[in-house]
Structure formats: C-alpha cells, structure tokens
Amino acid sequence: MENFHQNRFLRISEVSRITSLGKSTICLWVAQGKFPTPVKLSPTVKVWKEQELLSWIESQATEEGAFCSERSCVN
C-alpha cells in the first residue's frame, strides 16, 4: 500500500498545502528550475509525482530538519 501512495499524482493545491508554498511561488520556482517539473496531463491540468515532491522536500531540509521557503521555515 505504501508504494501506491508514492506513485500518486498531486494537483497544485495539494503541493501548496504539503510544501507551505503559494501557488505562484511554485509556478515561479518551476520556471526557474528550483522546483520539480509537473507532468502535463492535458492543456489545463498539471500534476506532480508525489515521490518526486517528497524527495525534493527532503533535499531542501536544513540540518535542523526544517523545510524553508523564501519567507519562512516549517518544522
């Protein structure tokens, strides 16, 4: 069952909730190459692979275990 959850697709609202980043920041960081690239399912639907997102979050974690964006850190 764990493998199922790691292969899920996440919409931008879920990505925003998980990362505590605003949708506009996510889009900007994708354009700047600072954030994982979404999968385009249709002309209007973009999703992120959950495992790629979780790996990115882990790589961004500081030594104290906090995830930091430009404005804040979340423990």
Residue found by looking up tokens 């493998």 in the block: 3
This prediction has a pTM of 0.74
> Structural domain tally of the chain?
1
| Residues 22-34: b if buried by 16+ CB within 10 A, e if exposed | eeebbeebbeeee
How many CA atoms lie less than 13 Å away from 43 in the CB half-sphere?
0
Domain of residue 67, CATH code: 1.10.1660.10
Residue 28 lies in domain: 2-74
Query: How do the pLDDT tens digits run along the chain, 75 residues long?
Result: 455 566 899 999 999 999 999 999 999 999 999 999 999 999 999 999 999 999 999 988 854 455 565 555 554
